[in-house]
């Protein structure tokens, strides 16, 4: 009986030794092993522990019909693919290796040897504008930054190395060349740091530095610094003190977020006293022809600098918002509507459209949004504005976008009488930051946020 039990146990262990789901270390070294494989002559790197094979390819290489030019498996084993067979390697494939009753699946995939700088930041704040076609990076910094000893944080493609190394201090008095290598790929980027004693565009904020911004505003600011030449961050204290030279500044953008919302005139004064303290300097900038892009709760500022006459109480009358860390999950695109007759406005040039040409789609399924809104309710039930004509008559603005109930959510105070133009976007759909993304999230319509912002800045500074 004792020997019978030992025999049964041995048989069970033998059957379990090499299957798809359970394979011992011994079997990985023997019966079902892929010993070598090559696609179009490029040898695969085999990872025994993960049962994976990665074939490294040049940065630009066609993978839709790659030929198996070498394949060796364990003695006595067979594979579901053969030498000479062609595979579409645009997606990973499975090599099924069998040897008698044993079987193991190996995943084979390709990896292009990309040698790119994908992110370049100096002084933890100032992002480089990367031109991947010209292999140049431009960084704009204020005069207070010492360019003779900057230690940039450099992010590169997977598996790539960069020289000089990320974090190594460099003298950027003259352009510095960064070399990126990744197996067969090689790139050289010329990095130029320009000191902006006279910025051409400003992102406004309450904190002293961009790094102290909340995640929503910081995401917007980082985008501006990376995409608008000559852009710089400025605090309201710097504007008030005059420490930033505005001689060449054409536009100021303030994207103001606060968890829970900023509901109306008095709340705005209480929650953004720094902006109120700097309103006279901003008004001077505006009256001298400077333009403003005011988004989210920053839309309140227009009334305080005289854009709506002397009536400070023309601030948005219907405001709310959620907290960033408990933002609402979008089940699909959120949108607002283009106001009648405004489809040709520069704000909407080149946006990604859905089936309805009147809708501006702003999010995608899987995106978390605070729905932070600073809009103008329209209707006799509320007071202030009986209809759109009443809003236009009182504020002097031009309606660009409305919500489903007719609320004014995007508008313009056109440049006139030597004053600059102002665009305000108070729609809850206008959102830059999602604290997390649901599985399967793919950004499509959310790109419209950056497209509209680019359009607004170009339009205001034309």
User: CA gyration radius for the chain?
Assistant: 30
Given this model, what pLDDT does residue 140 score? 85
Residue 36 in this model has a pLDDT that exceeds 90? yes
Identify the CA nearest to 371 among candidates 315, 426, 293: 426
Which percentage of the chain shows pLDDT scores above 70?
A: 94
Question: Average pLDDT for residues 243-250, to the nearest whole number?
Answer: 93
| Residue count of the chain | 462
Residue 112 in this model has a pLDDT that exceeds 60? yes
Angle subtended at Cα 321 by Cα 318 and Cα 326, rounded to the nearest 5 degrees: 165
Confidence of residue 417 (pLDDT cuts 50, 70, 90): very high
Residue 399 in this model has a pLDDT that exceeds 50? yes
pLDDT tens per residue, range 191-221: 999 988 899 999 999 998 888 999 999 999 9
For residue 423, what is the enclosing H or E element? strand 422-425
Given this model, what pLDDT does residue 25 score? 47
Confidence of residue 222 (pLDDT cuts 50, 70, 90): confident
Residue with tokens 């100096």: 122
Given this model, what pLDDT does residue 30 score? 57
Identify the CA nearest to 433 among candidates 220, 242, 291: 220
Return the structure tokens found at 286: 């505006």
Contacts of 260 (CB under 8 A, 6+ apart): 321, 322, 323
Question: Average pLDDT for residues 117-122, to the nearest whole number?
Answer: 93
pLDDT tens per residue, range 53-99: 999 999 889 999 999 999 999 999 999 999 999 999 999 999 999 99
Residue 23 in this model has a pLDDT that exceeds 50? no
What is 91-114 written as a DSSP string?
Answer: S-EEEEEEETTEEEEEEEEEEE--
Distance between alpha carbon 248 and the CA centroid of its chain, in Å?
A: 28
For residue 195, what is the enclosing H or E element? strand 185-196
Given this model, what pLDDT does residue 254 score? 98
Given this model, what pLDDT does residue 382 score? 85
What is 261-275 written as a DSSP string?
Answer: ---SHHHHHHH-HHH
> For the packed helices 447-460 and 215-227, what is the interaxial angle rounded to 10 degrees?
60
Residue 28 in this model has a pLDDT that exceeds 70? no
Q: Report whether 69 contacts 40 (CB < 8 A).
A: yes
Contacts of 239 (CB under 8 A, 6+ apart): 204, 278, 281, 282
Q: Report whether 15 contacts 7 (CB < 8 A).
A: no
pLDDT tens per residue, range 256-306: 999 999 999 999 999 999 999 999 999 999 999 999 999 999 999 999 999
Q: What is the DSSP letter of 172?
A: -
Dihedral of alpha carbons 369, 372, 375, 377, sign: positive
What is 3-55 written as a DSSP string?
Answer: HHHHHHHHHHHHHHSB-SS-B-HHHHTTTT-EEEEEETTEEEEEETTTTEEEE
Other residues' Cβ atoms within 10 Å of the Cβ of residue 85:
12
Given this model, what pLDDT does residue 368 score? 97
Question: Average pLDDT for residues 31-55, to the nearest whole number?
Answer: 96
Task: Indicate the SS3 state at residue 361.
Answer: strand
**Which residues, in sequence order, are bridge partners of residue 102?**
99
Residue 5 in this model has a pLDDT that exceeds 80? no
Q: What is the DSSP letter of 43?
A: E
Q: Report whether 422 contacts 292 (CB < 8 A).
A: yes
Given this model, what pLDDT does residue 400 score? 98
Given this model, what pLDDT does residue 26 score? 42
pTM: 0.69
pLDDT tens per residue, range 125-184: 788 888 999 999 999 888 878 999 999 999 999 999 999 999 999 999 999 999 999 999
């Amino acid at each position: 009986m004792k020997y019978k039990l030992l025999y049964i146990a041995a048989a069970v262990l033998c059957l379990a030794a090499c299957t798809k789901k359970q394979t011992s270390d011994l079997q990985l070294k023997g019966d079902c092993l892929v010993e070598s494989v090559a696609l179009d002559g490029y040898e695969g790197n085999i990872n025994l522990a993960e049962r994976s094979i990665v074939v490294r390819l040049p940065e630009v290489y066609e993978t839709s019909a790659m030929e198996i030019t070498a394949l060796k498996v364990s003695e006595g084993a067979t594979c579901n693919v053969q030498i000479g067979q062609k595979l579409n390697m645009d997606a990973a494939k499975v090599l099924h290796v069998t040897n008698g009753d044993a079987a193991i699946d190996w995943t084979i995939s390709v990896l292009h040897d990309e040698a790119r700088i994908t992110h370049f930041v100096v002084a933890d704040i100032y992002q480089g504008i990367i031109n991947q076609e010209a292999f140049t990076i431009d960084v704009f910094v204020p005069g207070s930054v010492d360019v003779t000893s900057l230690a940039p944080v450099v992010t590169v493609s997977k598996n790539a190395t960069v020289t000089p190394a990320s974090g190594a201090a460099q003298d950027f008095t003259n352009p510095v060349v960064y070399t990126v290598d990744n197996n067969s790929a090689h790139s050289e980027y010329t990095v130029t740091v320009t000191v902006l004693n006279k910025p051409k565009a400003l992102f406004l904020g309450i904190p002293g530095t961009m790094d102290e911004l909340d995640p929503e505003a910081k995401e917007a600011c980082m985008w501006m610094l990376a995409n608008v030449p000559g852009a710089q961050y400025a605090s309201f204290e710097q504007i008030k003190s005059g420490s930033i030279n505005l001689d060449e500044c054409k536009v100021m953008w303030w994207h103001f977020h606060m968890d829970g919302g900023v509901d109306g005139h008095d709340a705005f004064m209480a929650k953004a006293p720094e902006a109120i303290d700097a309103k006279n300097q901003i008004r001077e900038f505006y009256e001298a022809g400077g333009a403003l892009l005011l988004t989210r709760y920053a839309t309140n500022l227009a009334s305080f600098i005289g854009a709506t006459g002397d009536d400070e109480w023309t601030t948005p009358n219907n405001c709310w918002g959620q907290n960033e860390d408990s933002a609402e999950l979008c089940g699909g695109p959120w949108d607002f509507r283009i106001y009648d007759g405004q489809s040709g406005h520069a704000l909407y040039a080149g946006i990604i459209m859905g089936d309805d040409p009147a809708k501006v789609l702003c999010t995608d399924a899987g995106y978390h949004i605070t729905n932070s809104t600073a809009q103008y309710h329209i209707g006799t039930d509320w007071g202030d504005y009986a209809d759109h004509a009443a809003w236009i008559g009182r504020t002097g603005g031009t309606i660009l976008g409305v919500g489903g109930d007719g609320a004014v959510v995007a508008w313009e105070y056109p440049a006139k009488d030597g004053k600059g133009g102002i665009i305000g976007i108070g729609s809850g759909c206008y959102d830059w930051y999602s604290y997390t993304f649901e599985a399967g999230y793919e950004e499509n319509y959310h790109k419209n946020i950056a497209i509209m912002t680019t359009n607004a800045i170009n339009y205001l500074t034309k």
